[in-house]
Every structure is written in structure tokens, then in C-alpha cells.
Structure 1
Amino acid sequence: MGFDFFKPIEEELKIVEKSLGENINTDIRILDEAAGHLISAGGKRLRPAFALLSAKVFRDDLEYILPMATALELVHMATLVHDDVIDNSEMRRGTFTVKSGWGNRISIYAGNYIFARALALAASYGRSDILNILADASMKICEGEIVQLLSAYDVTKGLKNYLRRIERKTALLIAVSCELGAALCNVHARQIEALRLYGHYLGMAFQITDDILDLVADEKVLGKPTGSDIRQGVITLPVLFALKHSPRKDELRKLLSSPELCSRYVDYIIDKVLDAGGVDYAYEVSTRFARKAKKQLSYLPDVAVKQNLHDIADFIIKRDY
């Protein structure tokens, strides 16, 4: 994500980065190394950025928001550690995963530890409403991951299943980040809701773009192998479109139902999805979500940072990583 969008909060993001390391500091060396590796691997830090930008709409001093910004990134990181175990992933962000370096058992405990640290930070505000929002989101993220597992290689699942999956997998935590950034400023409920919806629509656009990139991006830029979703049996929006509209939909159905065939014919499947116009269709849908996100900004006060939120929505559908 371009740092120009985050210019108003770049100093705060540096503090969050430092705080991430401080919050997973433990005397147990192997846990410290495993969790520390995840932080040093970097990342877009979108969730803390959205919390800080949302708060910046209403206040200039963001010191009060920093623990929450850190907590949101820790929640996200905990889900990544567990995801890599479930997906058996060796690479993430261009480097080896915690699962690859330390094995499944350490990874599960590392993820649990990071998540517990996030909850402790969120609890420091002494506000049950904030904790409830975070806890509810965390439960729904888990439910979304289970739904994704259960629907792997299932070509009978349709658009509704896909949208619910990506809402819980990605959009929810971005929406909560925007919502909590505003809620900690104690502003009008409609403005908090506008930022929550902005984050929701933006998160949907972000995940659909991610699903497009899984098919067409450069592996070096993406930081993981192209076609990972297909290999894992995750039926994404471009693939759903091809399953309905491709002249070879029956063949695609057969290939995508089989873990072995998905791995063997991943490049062929990608070609057929592209030929069917699956990527073009998914791009249209992500653009629609980005447009809905921008509409929510009209409920916010006219401050400079509002333009940053607007520009992020434009960028998300054009990114190549």
C-alpha cells in the first residue's frame, strides 16, 4: 500500500511497528523467535492504518488510539499464523512461514499467544463495548475459516457462500478497524457506522482483488505462488464466474472438484478462467464495492484525511500486490 495514503499517520505507524515487537516479547525463546519472525516479515499494516485514519477524521492527537491499532494488527497476525498451519503454507510475504520454520505445534501456540496479547491491549481501555466488537469479530473470522475449509473443492457452492466467506475472512476486521478508530473518539453513531460500512465495502473490494491477483500476479511481487487458491480448493469469484459461463464449465467442474487435478492442472485452470472472462467480471464487482465504500465518506466531516480514505478505495482495485 502506497505510503502517501498513510502520510498523515506515518509517525503513529512507526510507533505501532515498535509496539508490535514489544507486545510479543516473552522469556520463552522459541515463542519469541517464532512470533518475532512474523513481525519482521513485514506486511501492509492495513488494520492499524485504518483505525488511525478513521480516528484522524475526528482528532489530531492519536496517542489514545495506538494500543487499539496495535491490537488490531496482532489479531490479524494471529489469524495468519493459524491459516498457514491449516493451509500447510511454506511461504508468506516472500519469506518462510512460522509453520515452516517452527512446525505446527509452536505455530498454534504462537498464534494463541499473539491473540491473547491483542485482547489484553484492547481490555486496557476498560470499555466492554470495544471488547465485545473485537470478540464478536474474532468469532466470526473463525466461523468464516471453518466455512472455507468445509467448502474446499465444492463446486456446488455459489455466490452467496463466497461473499459470506470473504466478508468474514477479510472485510470484517477492516470494518472493525475503521469502526473502533471512530468509536474511541466518542463521535456520533451514524459517523461510526459510516466508517464501519466504508471498511466493510473496502474489505470486500480488497479480497476480491486479492483473489484476482492469485490468478494473474507476478509470484515475486505477490510473495507466494500464483494459483494457491486453486491448489487449496478455494473457489473464488473469477472461478465461480467461469464455472457458470465457460464453454468448458463441465471440464472445469471436474478439475476443481479434485485436489490432485487442481494441483496438476493449475495453469490450465487459470487459462480457462481468464478465457471465460472471470477476472474481468471480478474486477467489475470489486470496483462496485469500492464505489460503495466511497459513498459512505459523505457522512464524515470535510477534513483533509477524508481524501486519503477516498484515494485508498481507488488504489485497492488497481494494486498489483
Structure 2
Amino acid sequence: MKLTDIYWHLRSDIAKIEKELEVTIDAKHPILKKASSHLLKAGGKRIRPVFVLLAAKFGEYDIEKIKQVAVPLELIHMASLVHDDVIDDADLRRGKKTIKSKWDNRVAMYTGDFIFARAIEMATNCDKPEVHQILSDAMVEMCIGEVEQIRDQYNWNQNFRIYLRRIKRKTALLIAVSCRLGALAAGAPRNVQLSLYRYGYNVGMAFQITDDILDFIATEKELGKPAGSDLQQGNVTLPALYSMKQNQELSAYILTMINSENSEKVVMSEIIEMIKESGGVDYSFEISDRYLNKAFKELEKLPDIPAKDSFYQIAKYIGTRKY
């Protein structure tokens, strides 16, 4: 089964979630309404709702109950992207103008806050108290991750542990929670919930590492933003981090170029090529594969139902995706 087949089988429920997202972000204030709608129309893989839906297949599947978890999780993700774009001073996301670029930083921050609030509001419809605790704990961790990303911006001496902890909070945690809450909302056994959580965590780590790799090897058209933009914004990801540890000459060159007054004019192609030659991309793929193998092992513990194979295919896709 291919990824497109998974989406096809879930298309009816994904459509319901998409409609619910539209309704939930509707705002009386015209600017909030336009900004939120602009973000929603920019699209996205909706991978977190898909994780929720598949995880719910391990319990009593009821889309009306499951969407009370799936929609808030996607809204939390969307809101975090709006704030990310302000922090990163990003003008483009998925090839379209960001809210902060189309309006300004203040509108972007308030739009992100508004979407967060809508997420919490909808989550109150879920009658399982544990859902709220898990969701709030995840949001706290995500906020810490955002602050740490700001702190570590242009920190060229950070170690691998700092990077891995940051991407856990930035990406892996919400995917892990999506898997667990889908199972929890459907009343799946606790051991299944925890296996799905660990699966989601490992897939989430691999997902973000692959994202960071693509920033160096994908085209601007595929990325929807210039290649190497993370590094230019001072966000040190695994390919660059490994290469700079291995190659002091490269490290010195990057520091000189990124910190120069003409940093906006830096031709990233040369730096990207040096990172590839220093083994940063290959090493990062290796680490991503390690996380994926851990995810596959968690799947072995789960009951043999079609959703299990779907989870396997999603993990496989993450390891080979090009954008």
C-alpha cells in the first residue's frame, strides 16, 4: 500500500476534519479570519490527523469522537508554524507568503495565539480527562522547544544532544501524541497506546531529521523556500552540525560567511556542497534510519490489522521522501 492509497482509504474522514478545521478557525475579526484562512489554504500533508485516524483503528472507531482529538492536534501544529515563521523571519512556507510576510509580526503572533485557543476550546469536547493532560503537557514542551530554538540560534558549538532534544520538542512530540491520543480516544488498551506513542516519537524524529536533510539536498521549488535557509537563519541542523564537527575548515568558513555583513548574498551552494562532501547528509540519513528501525520494532508489538501496515508504509515514506 502506497501513501496515496492510505489517504484515499481515509479520504471521507480527512474531508470531515478539513471541514471542521475551516469551521473552527472562522473568526469574527476580519484580519484574524483572513490570516487563519490564508494559513489553512496553504495546505499541508495533514499527517497528524492521519496518525490520529489510524491509531483509532486499534480501538472503537467513531469519527465524531476521533475528530475532537484530530482537529486540535492539527491546529496546534498550524499555530506553531505561524510562530516559527516569526522567529525564523521566514517569508515563504510551502511556496506561499507566510502570515508574518503578508501582514506583519503582530498579526502573525495573534493569529497563532487565536488558533492555539481554538484548539484548546475544541479539545474540551473530548470527555476523557487524560487527553487534556497529555495535550497540555505536549504544548508546554513545545513552547520550551521554541524558546530553546531561539536560544540556540547561531550557537555553532551545540552538541548532538541539544539538537535531538530540540527536534523532539519541535516535531516528534506532537506526532507521538497524535498516535497516542487517537488510540486513547478510541478506547484502545494502554499497552497499544504506549507502543503507538513510541512509534510516533521515533517516526517524528526521523521526519524532522529528513526535513533538515532536505533543506540541503532538495530544490527551492520542492522546499517552497531557498535551499540552505535554515543555516542562513542560524538554525544549526544535523547535517551541518556533523560536518562542522568533522571539518574545522568548513566550520570556520561557515562562521565567516554567515556572520559577514554580506550574509544575505552568500552563495549557499558552495556551503551545501562542502556539507555533503564532509558526510553530513549521509550521517543524517543513517541516524534517521536508526529511528525508523525503532519505529518498526514498536509496530511488531501491535495487533495485525490494516492500520498497522499503513503505519509501516508511512514510516517507509518518511525515510525516502523528497519534499
Category of TM-score, reference length = shorter chain: over 0.9
Alignment of 1:73-92 (within 5 A): 73-92=74-93
Alignment of 1:236-315 (within 5 A): 236-246=237-247, 248-252=249-253, 254-255=255-256, 258=259, 260=261, 263=264, 264-315=266-317
Question: For residue 133 of structure 1, what is the amino acid of its counterpart?
Answer: I
Check conservation: 2:198, 2:295, Cα contact below 8 A: yes
**Residue 57 of structure 2 aligns with which residue?**
56
Aligned partners of 2:304, 2:103: CA distance in 1, in Å?
49
**Residue 318 of structure 2 aligns with which residue?**
316
Aligned partners of 1:250, 1:211: CA distance in 2, in Å?
18
Task: Give, in angstroms, the shift of residue 246 of structure 1.
Answer: 2.3
Check conservation: 1:155, 1:257, Cα contact below 8 A: no
Query: Structure 1 residues 241 and 262 mapped into 2: Cα distance closer, same or farther (>3 Å)?
Result: farther
Query: Structure 1 residues 113 and 52 mapped into 2: Cα distance closer, same or farther (>3 Å)?
Result: same
Check conservation: 2:66, 2:185, Cα contact below 8 A: yes
What SS is found at the alignment partner of 1:5?
helix
What SS is found at the alignment partner of 1:6?
helix
Query: Structure 1 residues 88 and 259 mapped into 2: Cα distance closer, same or farther (>3 Å)?
Result: farther
**Number of residue pairs matched by the alignment:** 321
Aligned partners of 2:153, 2:270: CA distance in 1, in Å?
19
What SS is found at the alignment partner of 1:210?
helix
Alignment of 1:1-321 (within 5 A): 2-246=3-247, 248-252=249-253, 254-255=255-256, 258=259, 260=261, 263=264, 264-321=266-323
Give a deviation string over 1:177-207, Cα, whole Å, max 9, x none.
0010011122221110000000000000000
What SS is found at the alignment partner of 2:294?
helix
Query: Structure 1 residues 121 and 5 mapped into 2: Cα distance closer, same or farther (>3 Å)?
Result: same
Aligned partners of 1:204, 1:138: CA distance in 2, in Å?
17
Aligned partners of 1:162, 1:259: CA distance in 2, in Å?
24
What SS is found at the alignment partner of 2:321?
coil
Aligned partners of 2:211, 2:251: CA distance in 1, in Å?
26
Query: Structure 1 residues 266 and 227 mapped into 2: Cα distance closer, same or farther (>3 Å)?
Result: same
Check conservation: 2:232, 2:258, Cα contact below 8 A: no
Segment drifting more, 256-265 vs 300-309:
256-265
Task: Give, in angstroms, the shift of residue 259 of structure 1.
Answer: 6.5
Segment drifting more, 260-269 vs 55-64:
260-269
What SS is found at the alignment partner of 1:248?
helix
* TM-score, normalisation: structure 2: 0.95
Query: Structure 1 residues 151 and 259 mapped into 2: Cα distance closer, same or farther (>3 Å)?
Result: farther
Question: For residue 319 of structure 1, what is the amino acid of its counterpart?
Answer: R
Aligned partners of 2:103, 2:253: CA distance in 1, in Å?
37
Task: Give, in angstroms, the shift of residue 265 of structure 1.
Answer: 4.6
Task: Give, in angstroms, the shift of residue 129 of structure 1.
Answer: 1.4
Aligned partners of 2:287, 2:189: CA distance in 1, in Å?
31
Aligned partners of 1:89, 1:111: CA distance in 2, in Å?
15
Aligned partners of 1:256, 1:273: CA distance in 2, in Å?
14
What SS is found at the alignment partner of 2:5?
coil
Query: Structure 1 residues 250 and 87 mapped into 2: Cα distance closer, same or farther (>3 Å)?
Result: closer
Segment drifting more, 252-261 vs 33-42:
252-261
Aligned partners of 2:75, 2:61: CA distance in 1, in Å?
24
Aligned alpha-carbon RMSD (Å): 1.7
Check conservation: 1:255, 1:262, Cα contact below 8 A: no
Check conservation: 1:23, 1:117, Cα contact below 8 A: yes
Check conservation: 1:230, 1:266, Cα contact below 8 A: no
Task: Give, in angstroms, the shift of residue 255 of structure 1.
Answer: 3.4
Aligned partners of 2:153, 2:256: CA distance in 1, in Å?
13
Aligned partners of 1:151, 1:172: CA distance in 2, in Å?
19
**Unaligned runs of at least 5 residues, structure 2:** none
Query: Structure 1 residues 48 and 194 mapped into 2: Cα distance closer, same or farther (>3 Å)?
Result: same
Segment drifting more, 226-235 vs 255-264:
255-264
Aligned partners of 1:285, 1:261: CA distance in 2, in Å?
34
Aligned partners of 1:112, 1:250: CA distance in 2, in Å?
38
Check conservation: 2:138, 2:177, Cα contact below 8 A: yes
Aligned partners of 2:161, 2:260: CA distance in 1, in Å?
23
Aligned partners of 1:74, 1:30: CA distance in 2, in Å?
18
Check conservation: 2:3, 2:313, Cα contact below 8 A: no
